[in-house]
Amino acid sequence: RLRSSRIVRKRHQSKGTIWKIVHGMPFQVLMSVIIMVNALCIGLASDAELTASIQKEKPNKTWARIDVFFCAAFFVELLLRAISERSLFFYGEDWMWNLFDFVLVGISVADTVLNNVAVGMANLSVARIFRFVRFVRLIRLARAVRNFHSLRLFILSIFASGTSLLWCAFIVMVILYFFAVCFLNGITE
């Protein structure tokens, strides 16, 4: 009986240790930096793919390896958080972020498999859709900045003003259309 209580205690201590690591500030900062570097690499990889496409060359395989690295890093982070939080992963306070991360990591894994492992399938429309969806990972930047209160407030206010921005853009387009028609009628007369 003493041995079983030691095992149970070790299990609780190890899960407590994982929880402390995953929810600690150094780990959060590390993951925020990885997310920002990933966003930078997505832009650079897109530029490299466009340049290779214009020059009718094959894209550099280095970008695919970098993408696999980020996919593995995000998978390990998600796995560590799921292990440390257990059922709170889907029912806790951050369940929406966790679900969002789960979907993004799933899409990243599918994208990595379709574009790197299954090379013959790379021309399928499904693979192209996954390549397009990888830009959704840039939304993870919002999670990276949630530790910085003033920056987070600024980004949330930009998101909250999105509908107002769309209506303003619509009004500007109507005004431009009105003046374009007026000028066009003035030129034709």
| 5-49 pLDDT per residue, tens | 444 445 445 567 888 888 888 888 888 888 888 878 888 887 888
Higher pLDDT, 88 or 150: 88
CA distance 143 to 35: 9
Q: Does position 76 have pLDDT exceeding 90, yes or no?
A: yes
CA distance 109 to 130: 10
94: three-class secondary structure by DSSP:
coil
Largest distance between two CA atoms of the chain: 100
How does the average pLDDT of the chain come out, rounded? 76
In a 10 Å sphere around its CB, with 0-12 CB exposed, 13-18 middle and 19+ buried, how is residue 74 labelled? buried
CA distance 26 to 69: 20
Query: pTM of the prediction?
Result: 0.63
- For the stretch 82-100, pLDDT in tens is 888 888 888 878 788 788 8
CA distance 11 to 131: 40
CA distance 152 to 60: 35
- pLDDT band at residue 110 using 50, 70 and 90 as cut-offs: confident
At residue 86, φ and ψ (nearest 5 deg) are 55, -125
CA distance 39 to 36: 5
DSSP H helices in the chain: 2-22, 25-54, 61-85, 88-91, 95-112, 125-133, 140-144, 149-160, 162-188
